Amino acid sequence: MTTSKDNSSDVRGDGSQIPEPERRVERLLGLLIVGLMLLNFPLLSIFSVNAFFCGIPVLYFYLFCVWFLIIGVTVFVLRIRPSVPGRSDESRDSREP
């Protein structure tokens, strides 16, 4: 069975490919906007109640969860490496100097 990868999201309106660094910047800007929205007043006021979750105030629990999520997604976005056709990490590491 043959599977084909759909790269329609990697193509600009003029048909050219979006370079990997530019996509990373777009993803990080999107993460910044989402992070600012999650750490802004309207959502923080929802969690600013006199309640506890596992002995931790709900607001603190929310802040640390969002903070952890932002850091995790940032690491994921920055660790994605562009794939080069016909070249694998194993073949590069197996070469002798």
pTM of the model: 0.63
Number of domains in the chain: 1
Position 83 confidence tier, pLDDT thresholds 50, 70, 90: low
Is residue 63 one of the residues assigned to a domain? yes
Hey, which bits of 1-97 come out as E strands?
A: 52-53, 56-57
Burial of 56 (0-12, 13-18, 19+ CB in 10 A): exposed
At residue 79, the pLDDT reads: 86
How much is the pLDDT for 96? 54
Confidence of residue 5 (pLDDT cuts 50, 70, 90): low
Domain enclosing residue 69, as ranges: 18-81
Which pair of tokens denotes residue 14?
């003029």
Residue 58, C-beta contacts closer than 8 angstroms, at least 6 positions apart: 47, 49, 51, 52
Please report whether residue 46 resides in a domain: yes
Q: Is residue 36 part of a domain?
A: yes
- pLDDT reading at 25 higher than 70: yes
What number is the average pLDDT over the span 6-31?
73
- Does 62 map to a domain? yes
For 36, which DSSP code? H
Residue 59 resides in a domain: yes
Task: State residue 17's pLDDT score.
Answer: 63
